[in-house]
Amino acid sequence: MLLAIDVYYFQEQANAAGVLFNDWSDEKPQSVIIERCTQVAAYESGQFYKRELPCILQLLSVITEPIDYIIVDGYVTLGAEKKAGLGMHLYQALGAQNKTIPIIGVAKTQFAGTPMECEVLRGQSHQPLYVTVVDIELEQAKQAIKRMHGDYRLPTLLKEVDRLCRHI
């Protein structure tokens, strides 16, 4: 089972949304999960994960299906130094719970110093997505993202999870 997740903030709250699907090429999710997060940490520059990670963990706590891969909206590692981004913090938090799940980060904007090998072009777009990973080979993850359904830059199910988390 594959899981794509995203979080959207409004006022003092957030929605964490997830779409579960079986195959990288699926057009529609098998199921959708939305969790309202009422305890949202304040924004700290350079510490984005402190705000988003609790919401993602809350979402994961209600999912009973076994998950093979998690796709996050953002970075697993940051820049050429590969500093821990949201996806790496998620991987470490799950590891602390004895749940090892490969994480694929798909970002729409380039973080300074992101290596060119992280770029993925989809459809007819000339603007890349940026893919970073932990516990899966980068090339394997890039090919999986390319195989995802949709004719445009952003795969259909990643657009869908973004739309779902914004539903207030």
Compare 150 and 12 and report the one with higher pLDDT.
150
Q: Report whether 132 contacts 81 (CB < 8 A).
A: no
Model pLDDT, residue 43? 80
Model pLDDT, residue 11? 86
Compare 155 and 48 and report the one with higher pLDDT.
155
The residues, any chain, with a CB within 8 Å of residue 43's CB and separated by 6 or more, are 51
Would you place residue 61 in the very low, low, confident or very high pLDDT band (cuts 50, 70, 90)?
A: very high
Instruction: Work out the angle between the directed axes of helices 48-61 and 86-96 (0-180°, nearest 10).
Output: 50
Q: How far apart are CA 117 and CA 139, in angstroms?
A: 9
* pLDDT score of 46 more than 80: no
Give the type of residue at 40.
Answer: V
Q: How far apart are CA 17 and CA 7, in angstroms?
A: 6
Q: Could you tell me the two tokens for 130?
A: 């940026």
Would you place residue 42 in the very low, low, confident or very high pLDDT band (cuts 50, 70, 90)?
A: confident
- Of the candidates 165, 168, 167, 132, the residue with the CA atom closest to the CA atom of residue 5: 165
Compare 117 and 39 and report the one with higher pLDDT.
117
- Of the candidates 34, 42, 43, the residue with the CA atom closest to the CA atom of residue 16: 34
9-15-20 Cα angle (round to 5)? 135
Q: Report whether 133 contacts 105 (CB < 8 A).
A: yes
The residues, any chain, with a CB within 8 Å of residue 90's CB and separated by 6 or more, are 49, 53, 56, 57, 70, 72, 103
With residue 105 as reference, give the H or E element that holds it.
strand 103-107
